[in-house]
Amino acid sequence: MRIFSRLALLSLALVVPGIAQAQSGGTLQKIKETGTVAIGYRESSAPFSYLDDHQKPVGYAMDICMKVVEAVKAELKLPNLKVELTAVTSSNRIPLMANGTIDLECGSTTNNVDRQKQVAFTNTHFLTASIFVAKKSAGVHKIADLKGKTVVSTAGSTNIGQLNKANAEQNLGINIVPGKDHAEGLLMVETGRAAAFVMDDVIVAGLVAAAKDPAVFAVGDEAFSKPEPYAIMLRKDDPSFKALVDATTARVYKTEGEALYAKWFTKPIPPKGIVMNLPLSAAMKKALQNPSDNADPASYGN
Amino acid sequence: MFAHFDFQAIVHALPYLFEQGLVFTLTLTILSAIGGLILGTALALVRIGGGPVLATIATGYVNLMRTLPLVLVIFWFYFMVPYIGQWLLHAPRPIKVGGFSSALLTFVMFEAAYFSEIMRGGIQSVARGQYAAGLALGMTGAQAMRYIVLPQVLRTMLPVLLTQTIVLFQDTSLVYVLSLTDFLGAASKIAQRDGRLVEMYCFAALVYFAICFLASLAVRRLQSRVAIIR
Amino acid sequence: MNYHWNWGIFWDASPEGGGTYADMLVSGLRITLAVSVLAWVIALGMGSAVGVLRSLPNPWLRRLANTYIELLRNVPLLVQLFLWYFVLPEVVPEAWGDWLKSLRDAPFYTAVIGLGLFMSARVAVQIATGIAALPRGQMAAGLALGFTLPQTYRYVILPNAFRVVLPPLTSETINTIKNSSVALTIGLAELTARARAIQEFSFQVFEAFTAATLIYLAINTIATVLMRLLERRMRVPGYGAK
């Protein structure tokens, strides 16, 4: 029956290219051995990480990650380092980081203590609060106004957790529907599937600005959270890689952070040339000048 | 009712839909069908003549795969395969597999269960005397399988195998849950970005229908041609 | 393996409030079963009707049945669910669309109908094949005894055809249960979706998926056993199944 084991091996070899190369050590070692750095990006987290008109991921977080890639190239002396891009969602980014499918997650991931048990974060690149958006005509202003309604939030986000918590604590009886990604969330409000979409204020601003008719939407007066820090996500327990990413982002934020910020938040951005019109706040300016990977929102002085 | 239907939105997206999306879907389908057929044939051979222990393991595997929803299996593989690679190779950390390879591995392993059932039925339909005749001619068991039984099985089972491949082609749309850019994934990315759900999903349905319908017509014609008169 | 196993996770309170992670799985199982049973009722009803149409002498009715089957069989289930969920409310008159979208359990109804119709095409093929497999004399005998065509179907053809197709229908029953998981893409909180939600909240991906896998194994085994019992009860000695 040797033919069977040979067939089995053959089929295995067919489907797992490159499985034979063994690996050891941390992420830097892995990048060195494979000559590739794997970046996880988002499809609809404008202006942090999203697809432009040619379906290429671009954004503020992508720019920061490319600076990190440059630093990795220099550190490992790998001028031909390949960048492999993988689309991730709020739902799968943490397991994909843990299982090595991605090395850097460049998007709009909130750094919090809960997640730090699974993954690590570098220095904060944005501060944003969890809010809700509805149609103006719906007349919902407070969280309590959502009582008994269908509300969408993105599966796997901190926002859906906060919505669940508010729903349970205030006994609102909200019908919570998980969306696959942020774009689907706003689209469900636009088409009347859901009364509101719970998401970070900056993501909502980006989606609304790009919508067919931004004027139909209104943001609620009440937030689900204080402004929380966004950061690029790394694997946990990998001190040498984290040190490199921390040093790089700290240098970039201090020297060109404000210019990068201006590029994505105050100027026209692809694909449609909309302007986010979010000038640098005092808290954000402080966060860029004093880079920190602290998960505590209070540490950012807001 | 289609007053707001924007054909321009489809036309604009065509290159992306076909050059990226459909190419991905077709590549995944063809490679999965080949891999699934090889692994499925191996499983069928093990189940028929692989000894009681191996046959039980193979049967258990086939039944397990046929009991689980494909969506669940897709999630399992995307998250689990890097750890299995690490365990197999005694590597210090999970082996990076990536979206496409993970999807390919999933479909090969999953479809192998279905192909193995087809091949098993086919092998059992070839008269045992033929296999015995091969042995009598001095062939080894493997040679008798390779030169006498399997060619006939492939020929008679070709239409069923191709029909299963059409099912596989449809099933690959489920990689949507991994955010990969297959044909449906590409359509949905445009649909969500531009708010053109009606146009993109109608167009996707039309393309899937056209391909599957024409393919199944072709299979039916082939069926009447390859039928062996016994 | 640097993964932190925690099998106790199921007894922890879920962040959704009002229960544990195990309760999330139970709620998912309930929805999976409810969708599967209702979709299977639609699949059997529509499938039998279309299967019979396909076996009738009238060519127009046969063509109608074939069109139905080809349309539903050649578009992936996921795409069909998107058509029912995202496209249908936008192409019907606005008031109907608004009503459809305001339904609180829209994903549930969409899943039942979408999955039911998708499976009905496969059931129809089985039924039509079963009818075609019966000896031609049965139809003639029924008509010769003075039965009308509908009566012949009701008392002669269908009872026999169902016995012939029970084994393939067993696997279609299991397929219905399995395919209900596709509805997680339209936001239905069925078993696979709940397992994924546990992963999102607790990060215990493998515990959650293992639990879901075991539950699917259990319900599909039970469904198979029940169908086998039905097959045995329905068997006419010396007829039908080998």
Summarize pLDDT for A171-208 with one digit per residue, the tens: 999 999 999 999 999 999 999 999 999 999 999 999 99
ipTM of the complex: 0.93
Instruction: List, for residues B121-160, the tens digit of each pLDDT value.
Output: 999 988 889 999 999 999 999 999 999 999 999 988 999 9
Q: How far apart are CA C220 and CA A220, in angstroms?
A: 46
For B140, nearest residue in chain A (alpha carbons): A1
pLDDT > 90? residue A8: no
Q: Report how far apart, in Å, the C-alpha atoms of C71 and of each of A244, B211, B219, C53 are.
A: 56, 12, 17, 16
Instruction: List, for residues C81-136, the tens digit of each pLDDT value.
Output: 999 999 999 999 999 999 999 999 999 999 999 999 999 999 999 999 999 999 98
pLDDT reported for residue A23: 40
Cis peptide before A271 (omega within 30 of 0): yes
Q: The domain that contains C70 carries what CATH number?
A: 1.10.3720.10
In a domain, B1, yes or no: no
CB burial of B23-52 (b: ≥16 within 10 Å; e: otherwise) equals ebbeebbebbbebbbbbbbbbbbbbeebee
Question: Among partner residues A152, A168, A193, which is closest to C16 by beta-carbon distance?
Answer: A168
pLDDT > 60? residue B70: yes
A177 touches chain C (CB under 8 A): yes
pLDDT reported for residue B229: 55
Q: How many CB atoms lie within 10 A of CB B89?
A: 14
pLDDT reported for residue C234: 86
In a domain, C25, yes or no: no
Question: Among partner residues C17, C98, C185, which is closest to A192 by beta-carbon distance?
Answer: C98
| Surface of A (208-267) touching B: CB under 8 A | 211-212
Side-chain half-sphere exposure of B79, counting CA atoms within 13 A:
25
The mean per-residue pLDDT over the stretch A211-224 comes to: 95
C200 touches chain A (CB under 8 A): yes
Contacts of B145 in chain A (CB under 8 A): 3
pLDDT reported for residue A16: 46
C95 touches chain B (CB under 8 A): no
Cis peptide before A47 (omega within 30 of 0): yes
Distance of residue A29 Cα from the nearest chain B Cα, in angstroms: 11
DSSP-derived 3-state class of residue B143: helix
The mean per-residue pLDDT over the stretch C180-208 comes to: 96
Count how many domains chain C has. Answer: 1
Paired sense of beta strands A196-200 and A150-154, if any? parallel
CATH number of A130-219: 3.40.190.10
pLDDT > 60? residue B172: yes
pLDDT > 70? residue A7: no
**pLDDT grade for C241, boundaries at 50, 70 and 90:** very low
Are residues A11 and B108, on separate chains, in Cβ contact within 8 Å? yes
Whether A130-219 and A23-128+228-300 are alike in CATH topology: the answer is yes
Q: Where are the domains of chain A?
A: 23-128+228-300, 130-219
Are B176 and B185 a contacting pair, CB within 8 Å?
yes
Instruction: Enter the tokens of residue B5.
Output: 């239907």
In a domain, B19, yes or no: yes
| Structural domain harbouring C80 | 33-188
Interface test with A, best of C203, C204, C205, C207 (most A CBs within 10 A): C203
Q: What percent of chain A has pLDDT over 90?
A: 89
| Structural domain harbouring B66 | 7-226
C188 touches chain B (CB under 8 A): no
pLDDT > 80? residue C154: yes
Q: What percent of chain C has pLDDT over 70?
A: 97
**pLDDT grade for C4, boundaries at 50, 70 and 90:** confident
Contacts of C97 in chain A (CB under 8 A): 192
Question: Among partner residues B68, B83, B198, which is closest to C216 by beta-carbon distance?
Answer: B68
Are residues C205 and A180, on separate chains, in Cβ contact within 8 Å? no
Contacts of B89 in chain A (CB under 8 A): 19-20, 22
Instruction: Enter the tokens of residue A250.
Output: 């700290």
pLDDT reported for residue A178: 95
Are residues A175 and C98, on separate chains, in Cβ contact within 8 Å? no
DSSP-derived 3-state class of residue A130: strand
pLDDT reported for residue B9: 87
DSSP per-residue letters across A172-224: ---EEEEESSHHHHHHHHHTTS-SEEEEEHHHHHHHHHHSS-GGGEEE-SS-S
**pLDDT grade for A19, boundaries at 50, 70 and 90:** very low
Contacts of B83 in chain C (CB under 8 A): 1, 3
In a domain, B2, yes or no: no
CATH architecture of A23-128+228-300: 3-Layer(aba) Sandwich (3.40)
Count how many domains chain B has. Answer: 1
pLDDT reported for residue A173: 95
pLDDT reported for residue B1: 45
Instruction: List, for residues A103-158, the tens digit of each pLDDT value.
Output: 999 999 999 999 999 999 999 999 999 999 999 999 999 999 999 999 999 999 99
pLDDT reported for residue C46: 98
Q: How far apart are CA A301 and CA A282, in angstroms?
A: 9
Interface test with A, best of C5, C196, C200 (most A CBs within 10 A): C200
pLDDT > 90? residue A299: yes
Q: Report how far apart, in Å, the C-alpha atoms of C136 and of each of A58, C156, C168 are.
A: 67, 12, 22
Listed as own residue / partner, the contacts of A206-214 with beta carbons closer than 8 Å and 24 or more positions apart are: A206/A45, A206/A46, A206/A47, A206/A50, A206/A276, A207/A44, A207/A46, A207/A182, A207/A183, A208/A133, A209/A274, A209/A275, A209/A276, A210/A46, A210/A272, A210/A274, A211/A186, A211/B195, A212/B195
Instruction: List, for residues B78-116, the tens digit of each pLDDT value.
Output: 999 999 999 999 888 899 898 999 999 999 999 999 999
**pLDDT grade for B3, boundaries at 50, 70 and 90:** low
Instruction: List, for residues C15-25, the tens digit of each pLDDT value.
Output: 888 799 999 99
Averaged confidence pLDDT in chain A: 91
In a domain, B57, yes or no: yes
Contacts of B66 in chain C (CB under 8 A): 174
Contacts of C70 in chain B (CB under 8 A): 213
Distance of residue A117 Cα from the nearest chain B Cα, in angstroms: 18
Distance of residue C163 Cα from the nearest chain A Cα, in angstroms: 39
Helix (H) or strand (E) holding C106: helix C106-133
Chains sharing 3 or more CB pairs under 8 A with chain A: B, C
Q: The domain that contains B83 carries what CATH number?
A: 1.10.3720.10
In a domain, C164, yes or no: yes
CB burial of B53-63 (b: ≥16 within 10 Å; e: otherwise) equals ebbeebeebbe
Are residues A118 and C98, on separate chains, in Cβ contact within 8 Å? no
Classify residue A263 by burial, with Cβ atoms within 10 Å: 0-12, 13-18, 19+.
middle
Contacts of A117 in chain C (CB under 8 A): 203
Residue A286: closest CA among A258, A251, A245: A258
Question: Among partner residues A26, A38, A51, which is closest to B193 by beta-carbon distance?
Answer: A51
